[in-house]
A and B are shown apart, each in its own frame.
Chain A
Amino acid sequence: MKSDNKLLEKLLDVFSNTKIGEIMTSPPIVVTPEITIKQVKDIMKIKKISGLPVVKKGLKLVGIISIEDIINVLERGNLNDNVFKWMSKNVISLNENNTLSEFIDYSQKYKYGRFPIINEENKVVGIITKYDVITWLFEKLGTIYIHDERRKKVLNQEYTSKLTGEILDNDKISFNFEINYNDIQKIGIGATKLKAFLKSKNINDSLIRKISIATYEAEANVVIHSDSYGQIYCWDFEDSIRLLIKDYGKGIENVELAMQEGFSTASEDVRSQGFGAGMGLPNMKRFSDKMTIISEVGKGVTIEMMFYKGD
């Protein structure tokens, strides 16, 4: 699988904006939660596939059942059990409008062999595996050989700072944390871990406080608003601390409006817990020395912040 990834990465910037809808296998073979494992096994065998999305009425995704699950049934269950009992319910799906590069991010992140694809109406419209991507690419290209070293830098997914223009090297990340967006109570774990990390680096307390608060706010936004996992990256430079907080979710419709103090789209439930006061982005701006936010609807949010170490 490793070589697959390398090839995908090389080809990434050529086709990174291609929509998954173009590449996926569609329509997908799907099953419902009520049918038996035995039936699924037979479908897999006949169709020579290793995993199927599980859907309920209206092609709504409820899970995924794969050959690994079937093996579990053989070991511990009964082939007459229904799919619902054994399917993975925590299924990661992509939208048909996601790009190839987003698929690659996901497949590196989640290590799953296949992702169901849904459309804007939340209906399952396809399935994508690395095999689909490679087949598609080779159809498009015949053979390709990319030898440009400069391109390699881009392909390694380095981030070019929007604040300073310099490259923030992946290899030099001092701290990173994956934001769990499934639980509002987990907000702040990343910020507190980052705080402990910065303490261990002997950075002065008031700077740590500013960074922790700004990170907490960014983390809260990912959990409350994005519907996507997120990542906190921190670089500890000689003169400054650099932070990048990224998610892959809904994005912000109107950044200018979102920056206004008091503006919030948080639900009542979230507000009752003291979030959603519309101070998140303003706080980030206030506590960082420089900040930029990049977002587009459906394309996630990237926040970059810079904190000078000098007093």
Chain B
Amino acid sequence: MTLKDILKHGFLESIYIFNDNIEIKNGYVGDLLSEIMRNSPSSSIWITHQTHPNIIAVASIVEANTIIIPIDFDFEIETIEKAKENNINLLKSKYDIFKTVGLIYNCLFGE
């Protein structure tokens, strides 16, 4: 599935889109960076509460091409700058993390 297909559902606001034709195969949720690196699959969406610039380095190392934060969170300006340098898509959900994950899971694996 491409990111564009997920965006069609309308619950995600685009903060920075590098490429919405990118393939999304999987997803991962977490806030502990070491744990993300250990377990996150590649070509995936990473859903997190972390918004500081360092998440871009983590995402590019594990090849999570898209980062989503829940409602009431905002990416730091420097994070957005770094996302541009490293070709990472940044999105913000209209819902909290639980509902966001559920919706994305349905997009990827639901009937």
CB pair B61 A286 closer than 8 Å: no
Query: Which chain A positions have C-beta within 8 A of B60?
Result: 192, 195
* B-contact bits for A193-215, CB 8 A (1 contact / 0 none): 00100000000010001001100
B1 CB–A CB distance under 8 Å: no
* B-contact bits for A173-194, CB 8 A (1 contact / 0 none): 0000000000011011101100
CB nearest to A211 among chain B residues: B61
Query: Which chain B positions have C-beta within 8 A of A279?
Result: 32, 34-35, 38
CA distance A212 to B36 in the complex (A): 13
Query: Which chain A positions have C-beta within 8 A of B53?
Result: 185
Query: Which chain A positions have C-beta within 8 A of B38?
Result: 213, 279, 283, 286
Mark out the residues of chain B between 43 and 61 whose CB falls within 8 Å of any chain A CB in the assembled complex: 48, 50, 52-58, 60-61
Query: Which chain B positions have C-beta within 8 A of A273?
Result: 33, 50, 52, 54
CA distance A185 to B33 in the complex (A): 13
Query: Which chain A positions have C-beta within 8 A of B35?
Result: 277, 279
CB pair A184 B61 closer than 8 Å: no
CA distance A189 to B57 in the complex (A): 7
Query: Which chain A positions have C-beta within 8 A of B20?
Result: none
A51 CB–B CB distance under 8 Å: no
Q: A216-B37, A279-B32 are in contact. Are A209 and B54 (CB under 8 A)?
A: no
CA distance A222 to B53 in the complex (A): 18
CB pair B32 A216 closer than 8 Å: no
CB pair B42 A209 closer than 8 Å: yes
Q: A185-B53, A185-B54, A209-B42 are in contact. Are A195 and B32 (CB under 8 A)?
A: no
A304 CB–B CB distance under 8 Å: no
CA distance A217 to B32 in the complex (A): 12
* B-contact bits for A278-311, CB 8 A (1 contact / 0 none): 1110010010000000000000000000000000
CB pair A191 B34 closer than 8 Å: no
Tell me how many residues of B have a C-beta within 8 Å of chain A. Answer: 24
CA distance A189 to B86 in the complex (A): 11
A274 CB–B CB distance under 8 Å: yes
Tell me, rounded to whole Å, the shortest Cβ–Cβ distance linking B98 to chain A: 19
B78 CB–A CB distance under 8 Å: yes
Q: A185-B78, A191-B57, A216-B37 are in contact. Are A209 and B32 (CB under 8 A)?
A: no
CB pair B58 A216 closer than 8 Å: yes
CB pair B33 A275 closer than 8 Å: yes
Query: Which chain B positions have C-beta within 8 A of A286?
Result: 38
CB pair A277 B32 closer than 8 Å: yes
Partner of B62 from A184, A189, A213, A274 at Cβ < 8 Å? A213
CB nearest to A280 among chain B residues: B34
Partner of A274 from B33, B42, B63 at Cβ < 8 Å? B33
CA distance A217 to B54 in the complex (A): 12
CB nearest to B34 among chain A residues: A279
B31 CB–A CB distance under 8 Å: yes
Q: A216-B57, A273-B52 are in contact. Are A192 and B62 (CB under 8 A)?
A: no
Q: Give 26 A-B contacts (CB < 8 Å), ordered by A residue.
A: A185-B53, A185-B54, A187-B57, A191-B61, A192-B57, A192-B60, A195-B61, A209-B42, A209-B63, A212-B61, A213-B61, A216-B58, A273-B52, A274-B32, A274-B36, A274-B48, A274-B55, A275-B33, A275-B34, A277-B32, A277-B35, A279-B38, A280-B34, A283-B34, A283-B37, A283-B38
